Structure 1
Amino acid sequence: MPDVEDENARAADLDLLDTYAREAGRIALGYFQADPQIWTKGDSSPVTEADLAVDAFLRNGLLGERPDLGWLSEETADDGSRLSHDRLFVVDPIDGTRAFIAGLPDWTVSLAMVENGRPVAAALFCPPRDEMFLAGRGLGARLNGVPLSTGRAATLEGARIAAPKSFVRRELLARAGMEAVPFVHSLAYRLALVACGRIDGAAASGRACDWDLAAADLLVSEAGGRLVELSGGPVRYNAADVRHAPLIASGEALSGPLLSFFSTHMAADGQPRS
């Protein structure tokens, strides 16, 4: 029988993330389409004053609520102290910053609670579309309160796939009978679209980090799908190196065919083969 006490604790974790994701989204919307100040980070990616304001709000608020947890965020310097924690928050204040800067709607606030290397609670909020994705381990996944389920596609023919051009050439997808859907800037949102069945599969190149993946990973798994490495193995979080190898998300039935296709057409260094 399920552990009621554990389920209650997980539900409380989920309520906490839900509350903070919504408020973080409200803060971010205050800067959206308002010409925020922009800087360039060391990896040449952009960061805005909105990213930093949301990060500060989440860090102060969430760690104030759960001071015993570790912390990992894209916009907080990583001092390594998280490695001594079995449980931690993994946060991307704004996933899809380029979309945010361009005034496009496909950016999200991504919050996860990770325990022993795997996500156990997740809130992914897309403020411009007022879409709140929530998942708790063993509690299922929901979008604005409606239960989620991945698509049932079992073959590549007709499968709708979201993948960056750097991952696989789109003509290769078409040649295999798949449909390349328009690019989605937020990787977390791209994976969430798999969880809710709007697309059949999604790929992440070898540049993805813990904060891009943890919340969406739980959404996909609780919706009946899989986010896996090309080896077929699950993704582990809170290692010393937060970067990950290329990954594939899909419903259970499509996972094998997609892994076979991408393993054939993408090199180990993440560069597409002809």
Structure 2
Amino acid sequence: MSQSDYREDLDTAVAAARAAGDVVMQYFKAGYDVRDKGGIEGEENPVTSADLASNAVLKERLLGAFPGDGWLSEETADSTDRLERRRVWVVDPIDGTKEFILGIPQFSVSVGLVEEGRAVLGVIVNPALGETICGGIGLPPRRNGEIVGPTDTSDLARAVCLASRTECEKGWFDRYTREGLFARVVPIGSVAYKLALIAAGRGDLSFSLTGKNEWDLAGGAGILAGAGITLVDRDGEAIRFNRPSTETHGYLTANARLMPPLLDLIARERADWRRVQSQG
């Protein structure tokens, strides 16, 4: 499709995500209720009244503008109806709820549009930093209105990796800098925000081998598509969206030059992990 084919969709998504971000910040400053949704063994899975309010704004704005589209949100009960739709909005009203609760400005509102299983555009709003990153097929990434793009770093040893804040706290990324595999690892909460920053050239690569959900990835995947960057799972397979199960096998992304060596590195990492598991 041409640039104009997705322009109306992107403009609507940007307005919706910013409106939701404004609502999120009202709660951020004034207080909110928190409960644990459960569903993640051994970890808290919090949801706040801010998540639910953001979800309501996004759904009203996006489905109000495009009533024939499907809907998938972390904070809406899933329906198989979406599987019959060619276009589906995949959203996370607050990606990085733990960071939101802790007051760390690394949470975001994530909106992605999926067509026939492929993310075609995305908007990530970090309302605490006043940052909007958006883009899509035929629409190069923009950060607060300015056209941006990925880095051209070609050596993993010089690369900046944007990694999960939680996984960094567990020490899972320590060896990558200790052994000189990456130049630097930067911990960031929201998955969607990390992907947007890669598309905007604020980091070289990002990955997680732990399971994710479609709403974590769709918005960022749409922006990456506009930057000409691929998003794959830990097996190196392209991530498809609007599937019966929303779970994905982790994710990997990097600029075009770094993607081949990153895939090779992760293949070795997974082989080592399997060997340890079989010996244990």
Tell me the TM-score normalized by structure 1: 0.91
Among candidates 14, 17, 33, match of residue 13 of structure 2: 17
The separation in 1 between residues aligned to 2:55 and 2:77, in whole angstroms, is 11
Classify the secondary structure of the residue corresponding to 1:31. Answer: helix
| 1:8 matches 2:4 | yes
98 and 150 in structure 1: CA distance in 2 versus 1, 3 angstrom threshold: same
Tell me the TM-score normalized by structure 2: 0.89
Per the alignment, residue 174 of structure 1 pairs with 178
Per the alignment, residue 48 of structure 2 pairs with 48
The separation in 2 between residues aligned to 1:271 and 1:149, in whole angstroms, is 38
The separation in 2 between residues aligned to 1:170 and 1:240, in whole angstroms, is 36
What residue identity is the alignment partner of 1:217?
A: A
How big is the shift at 1:70? 0.4
Among candidates 25, 28, 33, match of residue 32 of structure 1: 28
State the Cα deviation string for residues 213-233 of structure 1 (Å, max 9, x = none).
011112223223222223433
Among candidates 248, 254, 257, match of residue 253 of structure 1: 257
The separation in 1 between residues aligned to 2:220 and 2:143, in whole angstroms, is 12
The separation in 2 between residues aligned to 1:109 and 1:272, in whole angstroms, is 38
Contact 2:120 2:225 survives alignment (8 Å): no
How big is the shift at 1:18? 0.8
158 and 31 in structure 1: CA distance in 2 versus 1, 3 angstrom threshold: same
The separation in 1 between residues aligned to 2:212 and 2:276, in whole angstroms, is 17
Per the alignment, residue 208 of structure 2 pairs with 204
1:77-96 matches, within 5 Å, as 77-96=77-96
Per the alignment, residue 140 of structure 1 pairs with 140
Classify the secondary structure of the residue corresponding to 1:182. Answer: strand
Classify the secondary structure of the residue corresponding to 1:262. Answer: helix
Structure 2: which 5+ residue stretches go unaligned?
A: none
Among candidates 211, 220, 224, match of residue 224 of structure 2: 220
How big is the shift at 1:261? 0.9
Structure 1: which 5+ residue stretches go unaligned?
A: none
Classify the secondary structure of the residue corresponding to 2:186. Answer: coil
Identical aligned residues as a percent:
35
Instruction: Give the count of matched residue pairs.
Output: 269
Contact 1:168 1:271 survives alignment (8 Å): no
The separation in 2 between residues aligned to 1:126 and 1:270, in whole angstroms, is 37
Residues 191-200 or 156-165, more deviating: 156-165
Contact 1:119 1:218 survives alignment (8 Å): yes
What residue identity is the alignment partner of 2:147?
A: P
